[in-house]
């Protein structure tokens, strides 16, 4: 078995990000059979507009939601 090289860094590596996104998408699509991936983001801000939480990342699979239930799912208080 050949040696494994580990490379942990704190710099921006767009080529690594692109490669990982591509491979993860390929794997997830092959397992689920769903090929409609999109990049999503979400944020929560307080009453004066200061960001208090957020997330971003890829999503595979059609999103379905019932807007009348949204208040039960997200309670910022």
Looking at the domain assignment, is residue 75 inside a domain? no
74 lies in some domain: no
> Could you give the number of structural domains in the chain?
1
- Is residue 3 situated within a structural domain? no
pLDDT confidence of residue 47: 92
pTM of the model: 0.52
Domain assignment present for residue 42? The answer is yes
Residue 6, domain member (yes or no):
no
CA separation for the pair 16, 22 (Å, rounded)? 10
| Residue 56 domain flag | yes
Is 77 contained in some domain?
A: no
Task: Tell me what pLDDT residue 76 has.
Answer: 45
Instruction: Write out the DSSP string of 29-72.
Output: HHHH-----EEEEEEEE-TT--EEEEEEEEE-S-----GGGHHH
Domain that holds residue 35: 14-62
Q: What is the mean pLDDT of each run of 10 residues along the chain (77 residues)?
A: 88 92 86 82 91 81 54 49
């Amino acid at each position: 078995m050949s040696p494994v090289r580990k490379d942990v860094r704190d710099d921006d590596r767009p080529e690594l990000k692109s490669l990982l996104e591509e491979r993860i998408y390929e794997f997830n699509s092959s397992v689920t059979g769903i090929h409609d991936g999109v990049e999503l983001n979400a944020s929560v801000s307080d009453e004066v507009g200061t960001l208090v939480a957020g997330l971003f990342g890829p999503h595979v699979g059609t999103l379905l939601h019932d807007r009348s239930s949204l208040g039960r799912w997200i309670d910022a208080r």
